[in-house]
Amino acid sequence: MFKAAVPVFHISNSAEALKFYCEKLGFRHEFSHRAIEAQADPCYSGVSRDGIWLHLSSFSGDAVVGGVANIIVENVDTLHSEFVANDVTINVEPVNQTWGSREMYVKDSDGNCLRFQQL
């Protein structure tokens, strides 16, 4: 039986990515693994928020830049207000889609897209 899926985003700079995901988007840094502890990259990290996990990797061969994760949320507009207050660039403002969801899109500096969806 399936229990969860965890998207892996390829990132180029682990410190920059963790700052964005944790300070701007409100995720919590759960762990990091580095090939060489004294070097910032390559690094494989996990972040979470409200039971949703994302993995971020700067290791060669892990994922590709420009990935997408759909994240189902209770209220897109509340999240939008939070992100605006945190000075997050919103790539697609909250919009009612023809397929019935309300969505907002945010991209990290590597072009990975988080699609926040209110069903």
Q: And the tokens for 19?
A: 């700052």
In this prediction, residue 84 carries a pLDDT of 98
Region 8-118: CATH code: 3.10.180.10
Q: Which residues contact 85 (CB under 8 A, 6 or more apart)?
A: none
Domain boundaries, the chain: 8-118
Kindly report the number of other CB atoms within 10 A of residue 56's CB atom: 27
pLDDT tier for residue 86 given thresholds of 50, 70 and 90: very high
Looking at the chain, the whole-number percentage of residues with pLDDT higher than 90 is 98
Please write the tens of the pLDDT for every residue from 43-72: 999 999 999 999 999 999 999 999 999 999
Helix ranges restricted to H, 45-106: 76-85
